[in-house]
Amino acid sequence: MPDTHPPAQCISTDQIFFASSALIEARERREDARDRLLRIVDSGKYQAWYNGGTMELRPFAPASDVGSGVLEELGLVKDGQLRVKINLVGESLMLTDGVWVDSDIRVFPFSDESAAISKYCCRRNLLERADLVIDLATGSGHNLAWFRRDVRGVGMDINPRALSYFHLNNVINGLSNRTGVLNDIRRGISNIVDGADTPNILILGNLPFGLAPTQRTLPFTSNGGETGVDLQGAALAAIAAFMRTKFGARARAVLLGYSVGNSTDGQWQVLDLARAMLPEHELGFSILDDEGLTRVDGRRVLANPSPVRMALQAAGACRLYHQDTDRAQALYASLSDRLVSRGFSDLAYVVLEIGPVQRVLESGRQSVDS
Ligand SMILES: C[S@@+](CC[C@H](N)C(=O)[O-])C[C@H]1O[C@@H](n2cnc3c(N)ncnc32)[C@H](O)[C@@H]1O
C-alpha cells in the first residue's frame, strides 16, 4: 500500500467531467459557481485552512450559505465538505485535488512550482514573448494559468483525471484557447501540436522530480526515482527530439526540477544529462537560490542548495506526504547514504533553459540574455 492517509471525501473523475459539462453552456450557473468559489477563497477561514500546514489533510468545510446551491449540484461540495482544493493563480481559480485523495490518482495539489516557473519566465522575458505554450505535465493547468488569456496553450499529462480538472478550470475561467492532451512524455511530445505559424513556442515542464527511496514512498505526481531524474530525463529526450523538427527548432523550453550533485564542484546530474542530449550553446542552467528547497507540510524550507542528507531528512518529515514520518525518514536516511557514496552530496532546485543561443551558467538566479 502507498504511504498515504486514510481516505476522506474524494470527488470522482466522472463527476469532475459532469461539472464542466453542466457549466459549459450555462453562463449564469458558471458565474454563480465562480462567485461562490471566489467567496470561499477570500474567506479568512479558507486562508487559515490553506496556510495551516496539516489542516489540508482534510477537506475544507465552507459556510453553508456559500457551499450550497450550484456547488452542491455540481458535486464540488458534499456533506458540507469542499471536495476540491482551490488555488488562486493570477486571476484564475484553479481547482485540483487535495492531499486527502489517493496518491495513485491524485492531481497535483500545489501551485508553488508553477509560481517558480512563472517567476523565472518573467525574469527572462519569456512570459511576454510566447505565442504558444506547451506544458509537458500540466496537472490541472497551473503553469498555463500565469499566461495572458490570448496565449494559445496545450497542456499534456499522463493522468486523465488531471485533464478533467484542466478542462473544468478552462470552463470556469472562460479560457477557450487551451487544449488538454493525454500524453506520456516517455513517448515524446504529442504530434497534435501544430506550431507551423507560431514564431515563439515555449515548452514548460515540472515533471515529477522528488527523490524516492522506494517506489511507494512518494505520490505518483512527485516520484522521480532515486535521484529525481527519471522523468526529467524523459522530458529532456522529448524536447531534444522536438527541437530537431521543423518548427521545434524555434522553440525554447524551461524545465523545473531537483538535481543531485556537488555544489563545491558545480556538478549537477540534471545538467550533465542535458549536456549529453543537447548542444552546450543551447543550454542555460540556474539554481533558484531565491526559492526554498524542500516542501514540508506545504511550505518550502531550507536554503537552496542544501546538503542532500539535510534535504531528505526534511522531506521525510512532511506530514502531508507521509503518515509514518519515522519510517519515511529512515528510508530517506538510507537513500542519503547511497547518494553520498555516489558523490552526490547536495540537492538543488533548478531550472534548465533550452533554446537558441544560450550559455551555461554555473549557478545563481541571474540568467544570461540571448
Ligand atoms: C509535479 S506535477 C506538476 C503538475 C502541474 N504542472 C502543476 O504545477 O500543478 C507532475 C505532473 O506530471 C504528470 N506525469 C507523471 N508522469 C508523467 C508522464 N510519464 N508523462 C506526462 N505526465 C506525467 C503527473 O500526472 C503530474 O500532473
Q: Cα of 221 to ligand 1 centre, how many Å? A: 6
CATH topology for the 100-354 domain: Rossmann fold (3.40.50)
Closest CA to 188 of 228, 239, 254: 239
Give every CB contact of residue 369 below 8 A, 6+ residues apart in sequence: none
Ligand 1, residues at Cβ distance < 6 Å: 108, 113-114, 137-139, 142-143, 157-159, 162, 183-186, 206-208, 221-222, 231
Nearest CA to ligand 1 atom 13: 137
Enter the C-alpha cell of residue 340.
553520498
Q: Using the atom order of ligand 1, give the atom closest to the CA of residue 209.
A: 1
Q: Cα of 206 to ligand 1 centre, how many Å? A: 7
User: pLDDT 10s digit of each residue in the chain, 370 long?
Assistant: 344 444 557 999 999 999 999 999 899 999 999 999 999 999 999 999 999 999 999 999 999 999 999 999 999 999 999 999 999 999 999 999 999 999 999 999 999 999 999 999 999 999 888 999 999 999 999 999 999 999 999 999 999 999 999 999 999 999 999 999 999 999 999 988 777 778 899 999 999 999 999 999 999 999 999 999 999 999 999 999 999 988 888 899 999 999 999 999 999 999 999 999 999 989 999 999 999 999 999 889 899 999 999 999 999 999 999 999 999 999 999 999 999 999 999 999 999 999 975 544 444 444 433 3
Give the pLDDT confidence of 108-149 residue by residue, as tens digits. 999 999 999 999 999 999 988 899 999 999 999 999 999 999
Rounded to whole angstroms, how far apart are CA atoms 220 and 224? 9
Quote the pTM value.
0.94
The conformational region for residue 69 under phi > 0 = left, psi -120 to 50 = alpha, else beta, is left
Residue of 221, 223, 236, 321 to mutate, ligand 1, most atoms within 8 A of C-beta: 221
Give the pLDDT confidence of 174-215 residue by residue, as tens digits. 999 999 999 999 999 998 877 777 889 999 999 999 999 999
Rounded to whole angstroms, how far apart are CA atoms 294 and 238? 27
Enter the C-alpha cell of residue 219.
505520490
Q: Cα of 248 to ligand 1 centre, how many Å? A: 22
Domain boundaries, the chain: 100-354
